[in-house]
Amino acid sequence: MDRRRALAMMGGLVLCPLCGANSFSADAHWSYEGATGPAKWGGLDPGNAVCGVGSQQSPLDIGATIKAQLSPLQISWAKQGDTIVNNGHTIQVNFAPGSTLTMGTEKYSLVQFHLHRPSEHLVGGKSFAMEVHFVHRNDAGTLAVVGVLVTTGGRNAVFSKLTATMPTVENTQAKADADIDPNGLLPMQRAYYYYEGSLTTPPCSETVNWLLLTDPIQVADADVASFAKLYPMNARPVQKSNRRFILQSS
């Protein structure tokens, strides 16, 4: 059994508040600043220890990459989510079973997507306005997260609807608007960077295959500002690569 599968099976895969399909962020003991900020996550709870001592932590600054023949991303998502949640750390849209991501012979189910401001990943030291994470899980408990970088410029109708209808009170949810189509938050091209990493929130489990799309999407400045009124900064700083290879699809 490989290391990732063993980690995923230990305790049935412990997930962070951001990764729960239907739960709110009940744990308010971690944050993005101060005494409960990222530098302290590993010591806040025994279950978060890997946040401080893990060797495959995320996010990363994408620098040198290796061109590789990676499997194309076959995305088959529903055109709308189930619920939209303000979980105290971000805005998250949850999905009912049925939406999938396939890479070669591996199939994953879309659980949810959520937002970070600014981007958690950097590319060549450059930060982006925001980042969207589409969290998928397979039957073995391994996660595949499709990351989409966000710049400001032209309006994106789906993102506008998302920010216009997001709950503004923490730990509340609503039915997701029918116009919040996750497919509308993807760029035209699906080239991507691949590396093995972790959740970017506690418990920082190292069970994630990261698929960061190389092309960003554009959204309106006003919509980023709307999200920033709720969460002005909810991004974990980049972590050490520890000699990990970053592959880039050709």
Residues in the chain: 250
CA angle 248, 127, 193 (to 5 degrees): 10
Distance CA 36, CA 149 (A): 26
pLDDT of residue 141: 93
Among the ranges given (7-16, 97-106, 157-166, 240-249), the one the predictor scored with the smallest mean pLDDT: 7-16
Catalytic residue set? 89
pLDDT at 189 over 60: yes
DSSP codes of every residue in 26-86: ---S--SSGGGSGGGHHHH-GGGTHHHH-SS-S--EE-S-EEE-PPP-EEE--SS-SEEEE
Distance CA 48, CA 202 (A): 6
Tens-place pLDDT, residues 141-165: 999 999 999 999 999 999 999 999 9
Strands of the chain (E only): list them.
61-62, 66-68, 74-76, 83-86, 91-94, 100-103, 106-116, 122-123, 130-137, 143-152, 172-175, 192-197, 208-213, 217-219, 247-249
Contact 221, 152 (CB under 8 A): yes
Tens-place pLDDT, residues 213-249: 999 999 999 999 999 999 999 999 999 999 999 999 9
221-230 helix and 157-165 helix, angle to the nearest 10 degrees: 30
pLDDT at 4 over 60: no
DSSP letter, residue 182: G
Q: What is the mean pLDDT of the chain?
A: 91
Q: Which amino acid is at 157?
A: A
**CATH superfamily ID and name for 3-8+31-249:** Alpha carbonic anhydrase (3.10.200.10)
pTM score over 0.85 = yes
Tens-place pLDDT, residues 49-92: 999 999 999 999 999 999 999 999 999 999 999 999 999 999 99
- Residue 116 φ/ψ, nearest 5 degrees: -130, 145
